[in-house]
Structure 1
Amino acid sequence: MQIKTSLLCLVFVTIIFSCSKKPVQTFSPQIIPKPLKQSIEQGYFLISDETSLNFDKEFSVAGNFLKNYIESGTSFQLKSGNDIVFKKDESIKNDEGYKLEVTDKGIIIRAKTDHGAFYAVQSLRQLLPVELESKSFSEDEIAVQNITIQDEPQFAYRGMHLDVVRHMFSVDFIKKYIDALGMLKMNTFHWHLTDDQGWRIEIKKYPKLQEIAAYRKETLIGHYNTQPQKFDGKRYGGYYTQEEIKEVVTYAQARFVTVIPEIHIPGHSQAAIAAYPELGCTGKQVEVATKGGVFEAVYCPKEETFAFLEAVFDEVLELFPSEYIHIGGAKATKTRWKNCDHCQALIQKEGLKDENGLQNYFISRMENYLNSKGRQIMGWDEILEGNLAPKATIMSWRSYGGAVAAARKDHNVVLTPRSHVYFDYYQSENKHEPLATGGFLNLEKVYVFNPISEKLTNKEAKYVLGAQGNVLTEYMPSSEQVEYMVFPRILALSEVVWSSSERKNYKDFISRVENFHKRMDALDINFANHLYELEGEMVSKGNETEYILKTSTPGKVIHYTLDGSDPTIDSEIYKSGIPISQSAILKAKIFSENKALGTTFNQTINWHKAVGKKITLDVQPHHAYPGSGSNGLINGISGSNERYGDKEWLGFWGENVEITIDFGIETEINSISTRFHNGHGQWIYAPEKIEVEFDDKEVFEVAVPISKTLLAPVTFKQKVTTRFIKLRVFNAGLIPEGKRGSENPSWTFIDEIVVE
């Protein structure tokens, strides 16, 4: 059988015969992340109990990993010999690069370092049967497809974050998390260990951090934005002993994963101040925070505080050999500093401009201390406030803006924009998804993420070290839920940071993800499967409007109904756009071989007078939250009641917006209604007012009712005949002190504009 040399998108099975005439199987390579170059050849190599392995001491980590992986997953015992060989290759310039060659005669792994060889093993691993993962392989030989791979990463920094403060997870789970990073060729584990809601690292000099700071009296039930807020009344907490941390760090090193600890300063420090009130500006007792948010308790920049932090970091440095120490720096409120005599005197003494300058003083002082110990600091992009610490590396999370600003000042940056890599956001519009922070971040949006901003020159782009996915666990009480939120989005991120952008192809990626499901099952990973969910959009062309359905997995049949009934194999088959001219309840489902897959797609369409008309905006929505564009405001479809980031909500950051709807002819209307998201926990505020104008004549000011809920609906009733409607939406301005995102511009999120 002729095997094509180009990479095939779909898994295929080739039946061939070994010398014993027993049929064996090889599988088309479906490696994630996608290698830089690969060529599939005819033939195969058989691994069996007779196979031998040879590697020098300098490849001991990679060699032993492969030996243990094969022997623990099969009944084989690899001998010493040259069937599978590791060879040092100085011509490979990248320390993490490798060459993998499988031929009829054997397997050769070439690398400059053990690190690169380890990644070659991870690619080889994905050429082997998934039964090795679950240690259930029962055959007496494995046929490995002949292939040549040449590979290296696009970015040096390839990371995943995990918050263990809001919810804590076992050491065994932390190891499982690190295992996944190694398998996907990610090299950094950002361990978020301290925050307002708890202190999770043992510091022997300060026992109250374990006795008091590590525990909160209760935890919020439900979402932060739910009113009234409720709590479970149960004490929660714990911490990792120094021995456990050493165990995790050693385990990670054996998978070439660097563990970077985060010890948050100067804000997000309420747990520590609860244990040692003298570290705050007031000296008053506070309690460990029981919910998310931004709190006024911050470290006071006095000598006692710096002595405490230096002693804490001394113990941290003994545990973590990483070049970088993450010092947080995010969302530090300045209220206490403004009202603190010591802080104000320090501002004057040091010639600082204001409290932002004081934050820079605080960060720079701690940076100098850590630099003196041979380490570098990394911090969230708020440490840009005032003036950037001299050698700091910025982790840009609010947008690309922090990365651009830092790179232009010749500082290294890691991209972590919440719009593309915050895995605590919803990943599906399915109403049965578990509670999440908010927003909407599906697999495709992660995959199309580009860490290099278009605003950077080629020289500035060199300061972009890479990217990282973040996992804030406020709504993830179990490790199973963490897995559900991380997988498979981490697969997309691994390809963003490893694979060359020129070779990325989403359809090809999806086929590999579908195949990777079997590996995640074998690894007992509780992944989210949204591949068999449908997506849809309303499209208007001229006087015609139709609804378009699409699926990311090819070769499937879609059946649909418009009357709200559940689709079956007897329902209408979707072939192209569905004409829409009235309100309807559209339901659709994917079928393969007459078997239903996934969940039922459900879309309510509310036909009104503005649907399909011309609409223009004087400013465009923020690139992170474009929704369905301006037409999405009048497409007959309302956004989610809970998820501001879905494709029906348009987000504007700190901007007023004027919306013009053109009916084409004079049209009689009776009312205009819309609604705004009001999730203050996500920096989103309903506008204080809007203006409605008809045909450039009459202007009406409409107050937006004060709402304590997530949604702020507005209805304006006025019987009028008009061709044009203009809506002017006025942003709520800067977020007040004491609120999440204080002193930042607020977001405005607007939903469907219904004209009756």
Structure 2
Amino acid sequence: MTFNKSIALAVFISFLFSCKEAENAQIDTKIIPVPSHLSINDGTFIINNSTGITYDSAFKDSAEFFKSFIENGSNIQLQKNKSIEFIKDGSIKNSEGYELKISTDKIEIRANSDQGAFYAVQSLRQLLPPEFENGKFNNDSVQISCVTITDEPQFAYRGMHLDVARHMFSVAFIKKYIDALAMLKMNTFHWHLTDDQGWRVEIKKYPKLQTIAAFRDETLIGHYSNSPQRFDGIRYGGYYTQEQIKEVVAYAQQKHITIIPEIEMPGHSQAAISAYPELGCTGEQPIVASKWGVFEHIYCSKDETFDFLEDVLDEVLELFPSKYIHIGGDEAPKKLWKSCPNCQKRIKNEGLKDEHELQSYFVSRIEKFLNSKGRQIIGWDEILEGGLAPNATVMSWRGTSGAIEAAKQSHNVVMTPTSHCYFDYYQSENSNEPLAIGGYLPLEKVYHFNPIPEELSRKESKYILGAQGNLWTEYILNEKQVEYMVFPRILAMSEVVWSTPKHKNYKNFVNRVEHFHKRLEALDINYANHLYEIEGNLTSVGYELKTITSNNTIYYTIDGTKPSLKSNVYTEAIPITKNTIIKAAIFNDKQQLGSLFTQNIVYHKAVAKQITLNVEPHKSYPGSGAAGLINGISGSDTRYGDKEWLGFWGEDLEITIDLGEKTEINSVETRFYNSPGQWIYAPKEIQFGLKKQKIDSIIKIQTSTKNTSEVNLTINKKSRYIYLKIPNYGIIQEGNQGAGNKAWTFIDEIIIK
């Protein structure tokens, strides 16, 4: 009997161990970005004080990185033997590809370059406990699941941007930012160093760039759209010395990251002109800008300006060995060029048609200079205007049209459209989110970004080098806020640019992100956690609630009270037949996780009726489609990119609502979003009728400094149809962001009472 109990106990312990081993295998292989191929094999490999490491001399940097990671993160000291071996393998054709094989007695890393080996190490790093990240793994050994990984990136360009002109961050933080990029197998850091609000790179030939251009007298408080605008009255600024920049560049090179510096021209140059007024068209000395936006003071096209820029670039080239130098090229108002004798003389002498071709001349001249130095230019998609410089690469931010145009002209493109890549946008609809420029870019939208526009042929799509996330810092005051806005969206972007679409799965990704939080905590990264938020949607059967995480429960109320573990458990759509306020939250067995979800539903006469539009909303801002305009749910007061606002770019909109039968209509209400800084303008008028395509009245819409412009029409008539014609605002005027481009129209719920 004792013998049988012993056998049973041994079997049970073996079963527990097997379950635990299987559990660890599942947990320990949650790698971001997801590899091309990963298989879990039987057994584990143990790293302890008898484990050794050897490497081909070509892999010294990667091997030393891993050795330091193990030894600094734990009590383990690696020896010199072949337990862990770095092997040069010429059969791996992609220079960034690798093979990682972990068996019970050995770890093999195969690559054709140190860069590939380095990425293998990043995957291996994620197979280890998070405590290694901060030196708190106290055991003398660690087990790793036996796996085989074969991996390579989808895109050659995998980048993140950081604006330090609006707000500046320490060298230590820049290194920490680079570390994060390296961990996620990104290979490019786009460093935005100059703008209207500050010049951040030391140029020894022009010391006033350090004493004048690097500092502003004060900074805008609150949002740009607030009226009246307020300022803090505190001098702000600084710059990176050339020695600091060399230090950062060398640090990035060790992590196989190329730093692309951005020196803005011809626009976004007011800080430089403040230091050297002769560079402008008027000779006046503007202030270093203390608020955000687009400014009229841009570089003049006279020879003295090009002499200055070439001198600046000569020093920049000494600091940055990158193939590309980013020259900006965006948002350059032409007003002063039109009245400048020097610029008009340049147009005449060069046989140019207008100021747009003058910008093309400006960019091409800088490109010719940089090409002579063995470098290439990259610029925002405005460099297409007036004709693209011969060898330029385009960074497409205003949507995908610039990318399509450039690729069809056989120019290389990096994708970074605002709709999917601007991490300064809000990432949650929670009212307690930190102040941001506007917009709405949740984790899921980033994840589902496809950098290759569907309009391109297979041949043309080869010109898409990759993509990057952008972080503009007008509203980002400190380093913790940088981290909050970047993480976890950078995790999604890393998978966009590294992993192929067939290997991507959002539900699986969310599971890996949840696990990755522990690593971010160990790295002291202030990530945003919106995984425990609820998403709601009104359907034909009722109001549906869902969450992207599993193994938790949604509790809800419809009486206005806060939900608890004693409230209704959500199992199916909630019937909606009247005005309703739903409150819900996610709970585990003990407590609420995440924030409270609240949805106010106005059950008006058009809910669930038929609606048609003459044009589809822009694919970047589709909201919930046409039906979302009459689903009883209004969009955010501050975030135009949510699923209730529909966006249309430069198009006149016609809307027909069919109520099914003649109905007493007392009023029609709707609203439009205002955000001139994002090129979004309420229409100047709205045309209204009670029959299809027939106008009964025209209502003028007053210009508003608020986020939204409301329209409320009193009707008091019976009708089956409601017809709205909404002409687009038109072309954005000079002096405003996006000048010369068509405006966006964003429309919210149409409420019929």
Q: Alignment partner for residue 627 of structure 2, among 625, 628, 631?
A: 631
Superposed, which structure 2 residues align to 1:254-653 within 5 Å?
Answer: 254-540=254-540, 545-653=541-649
Determine the structure 2 residue equivalent to 1:701: 698
Letter in 1 for 2:704: S
In the TM superposition, 1:664-683 aligns within 5 A as 664-683=660-679
Aligned to 1:718: 715
CA distance in 2, matches of 1:162, 1:698: 49
Checking the alignment, whether the CA contact within 8 Å between 2:56 and 2:88 is kept in structure 1 is no
CA displacement at 1:15 relative to structure 2? 3.6
One-letter amino acid of the structure 2 residue matched with residue 593 of structure 1: D
Report the CA distance between 1:27 and its aligned residue.
4.0
For residues 147-176 of structure 1, the C-alpha deviation after alignment (integer angstroms, 9 at most, x for no partner) is 000000000000000000100000000000
Partner letter of residue 213 of structure 1? A
2:115 is aligned with what amino acid?
Answer: H
Q: Distance in 2 between matches of 1:550 and 1:35?
A: 28
State the identity as a percent: 61
Is residue 14–residue 27 contact of structure 1 (8 Å, CA) maintained in 2? no
1:109 shift after superposition: 0.2
Partner Cα distance (2:729, 2:575) in 1: 39
1:740 Cα deviation (Å)? 1.1
Task: Decide whether the 8 Å contact of 2:166 with 2:197 is kept in 1.
Answer: yes
Change (3 A) 1:266 1:75: same
CA distance in 2, matches of 1:154, 1:186: 12
Instruction: Indicate the SS of the match to 1:590.
Output: strand
What TM-score comes out, normalization by structure 2 length? Answer: 0.97
Cα shift at 1:16: 5.7
Q: Which residue pairs with 2:173 in the alignment?
A: 173
Q: Deviations over 1:300-350 (max 9, x none)?
A: 011110000000000000000000000000011100100111111111111
- How far, CA to CA, are the matches of 1:610 and 1:403 in structure 2? 39
SS across alignment from 1:363 = helix
Secondary structure (helix, strand or coil) at the match of 1:213 reads coil
Range 146-155 or range 343-352, more displaced: 343-352
Alpha-carbon contact 2:266-2:332 (below 8 Å) kept: yes
Q: Does 1:691 align with 2:684?
A: no
Superposed CA RMSD in Å reads 1.3
Alpha-carbon distance change, 229 to 172 in structure 1, aligned in 2, over 3 angstroms: same
Provide the residue aligned with 1:195 in structure 2.
195
Aligned residue pairs total 736
Structure with bigger helix share is 2
Amino acid in the other structure paired with 1:652: F
Check 1:13–1:97 CA distance in 2 against 1; reply closer, same or farther (3 A cut).
farther
CA contact (8 A) 1:446 1:493 kept: yes
Q: Contact (CA 8 Å) 1:586, 1:604: kept in 2 or not?
A: yes
Q: In the TM superposition, what whole-angstrom CA distance separates every residue of 1:543-566 from its partner, at most 9, and x where no partner exists? A: xx5111110001211110111111
Structure 1 partner of 2:6: none
Secondary structure class of the residue paired with 1:285: coil
- Structure 1 position 593, deviation (Å): 1.8
| Aligned-partner SS, 2:347 | helix
Matched to 1:370, the amino acid is L
Q: How many angstroms apart in 1 are the aligned matches of 2:26 and 2:44? A: 7
Q: Would you say the 8 A contact 2:54–2:85 is kept in 1?
A: yes
- CA–CA separation in structure 2 for the residues paired with 1:513 and 1:731: 41
Tell me: CA distance 1:615–1:53, structure 2 relative to 1, closer, same or farther (3 Å).
same
Task: List 4+ stretches of structure 1 deviating above 2 A.
Answer: 12-17, 23-28, 695-698
CA distance in 2, matches of 1:92, 1:311: 43
| Residue pair 1:675, 1:714 contacting (<8 A) in 2 also | yes
1:27–1:632 Cα change, 3 Å: closer
Residue-by-residue CA offset, 1:57-84 (whole Å, 9 max, x unaligned): 2101100000000000011111101000
Give the conservation status (yes or no) of the 8 Å contact 1:14–1:25.
no
The amino acid across from 1:672 in the alignment is V
Instruction: Give the CA deviation at 1:188.
Output: 0.1
Q: Could you report, residue by residue, the CA deviation over 1:190-247 in whole angstroms, capped at 9, with x for unpaired residues?
A: 0000000000000000000000000000000111111111111110000000000000
- 1:233 corresponds to: 233
CA contact (8 A) 2:28 2:128 kept: no
Report 1:101-140 matches (<5 A).
Answer: 101-140=101-140
- Encode CA deviations 1:600-628: one digit per residue, 9 max, x unaligned: 11111111111111111011111111111
Q: Deviations over 1:521-568 (max 9, x none)?
A: 00000000000000011113xxxx511111000121111011111111
Name the CA distance, whole Å, in 1 between partners of 2:591 and 2:412: 51
Could you say if the C-alpha distance between residues 554 and 340 of structure 1 is closer, same or farther in structure 2, counting changes exceeding 3 Å?
Answer: same
In 2, Cα distance between the equivalents of 1:479 and 1:589?
30
Corresponding letter in the other structure for 1:163: D
Amino acid at match of 2:640: Y
Q: Offset at 1:24?
A: 9.6
Uncovered stretches (5+) of structure 1, i.e. residues with no partner: 1-11, 18-22
